[in-house]
Amino acid sequence: MKTTLAWLWAIALGAAWPLHGQAQAQAGVTDTTILIGRSAGLTGSLAARMKPATEAMEAYFAAVNAAGGIHGRRLRLISVDDGNEPQRAAENTRRLVDEERVFVMFANSGTPQTVAAMKVLQERGVPLIGTTSGADSVQAHHPLLFHYKASYGQELARIATHLKTIGITRVALVYSPDPTGQEGRALAEAALKAQGINPLAVSSTKPEDATRLLAGFASAPPQAVVLTSLAGPGAAFFKQLVQLPVPPQVFTWSVAGVEAIHKEVGERIRGLVVSQVFPSPQSQVSRLAVEYRQLMEANKLGNGGYPGMEGYVSARILVEGLRRAGRELTRERLAEALRSLRGFDLGSGDLVTFGPGDHIGRSFVELTMVGANGKFVR
């Protein structure tokens, strides 16, 4: 996959803008409206995360519109469900760009879905501002793709560093047998190796593999398990793990689907350590968190948690890019405006910085723990 992406994106470096004229760049922009497209997993395993993210995006865009919009234009978001299927993501993207005539694509979900969408967008010279995927293969530089979160590799490096710091050396590595989980496995192995830690055992989340792994814990118990999985497989593995008399502590990344795990095992989730790529939504000192909660409360949306925070941050970054692009809006001017962001403060020092060769806007990572009622504590 990495080779294919590298080839596709190298072509895009030279061809992203010149092959598309001014008329194409103006699609989705009228005197009164900017049309934004989004293909995401609104149903299926990602639905629990996508719902609060979508609510936060829409609430922020509504607030911007109520304040006069962007240079007098209102923002309109069209979100389409891809069911976590790459082919549907590509079809959605094609329809949104060719038929709905959206100006820009925004906040896609999933690694293979993002790869599929980018093939369509590359052909048409349409930017994608943000994706839930933190896959290092997806975060390779592409002139049309801007990221608002740290990579999976950065998350796993933070976990590995913490394990070394607290003296944990006996580690088992568990991954889901899908492209995201398998890439996570490779990244976790590299991160652990960099800290001088060699996994005692490596297993997929398949029930038969997990059963063999857990049986081996009786004679060679690890101090910790590093889990690189998405929601469904991770929850199933965790359900098996907590049947042990004394389960080892689990460390996982931000896309593990803690809500799904909590639904599966209840309070036995307590103690799970999760890397996060956004500040705590409950922080009392982060201006970003305070403003996010105020927005959600004003719209009676409740606590959207980290997924809602991700939606809010992604919308903030897109809006700032649109503002800086000016009234004479084109896709190229939007990309140039985003690349001009240097130390843009989302609140309390959470900075966004892009550049001509750097479309990874943020590198924030911290570790949290799941406490009572599935709530995160720091």
| Average confidence (pLDDT) over 137-145 | 87
Q: Which of 126, 34, 37 is nearest to 74 (CA)?
A: 34
pLDDT for residue 24: 43
Q: Mind listing the pLDDT tens digit for each residue in 193-233?
A: 999 999 999 999 999 999 999 999 999 999 999 999 988 89
| Average confidence (pLDDT) over 17-43 | 78
d(CA 224, CA 295): 38
What type of residue sits at position 238? F
Q: Mind listing the pLDDT tens digit for each residue in 109-130?
A: 999 999 999 999 999 999 999 9
Q: Which of 160, 165, 149, 190 is nearest to 365 (CA)?
A: 149
| Average confidence (pLDDT) over 175-202 | 96
pLDDT for residue 117: 97
pLDDT for residue 353: 94
Domains of the chain, with CATH numbers? 2-149+285-363 (3.40.50.2300), 152-276 (3.40.50.2300)
Q: DSSP assignment of 292-339, as one string?
A: HHHHHHHTT----HHHHHHHHHHHHHHHHHHHHH-SS--HHHHHHHHH
348 pLDDT band, cuts 50/70/90, is confident
pLDDT for residue 92: 99
Q: Mind listing the pLDDT tens digit for each residue in 48-75?
A: 899 999 999 999 999 999 999 999 999 9
* CA pseudo-torsion sign 125, 56, 64, 349: negative
- pTM of the prediction? 0.89
d(CA 122, CA 85): 19
Q: For residue 192, how far is the Cα from the chain centroid? A: 22
15 pLDDT band, cuts 50/70/90, is very low
324 pLDDT band, cuts 50/70/90, is very high
Mean pLDDT of the chain: 91
Q: Mind listing the pLDDT tens digit for each residue in 275-291?
A: 999 999 999 999 999 99
pLDDT for residue 221: 94
pLDDT over 90 (residue 45): no
Which H or E run includes 370?
A: strand 366-370
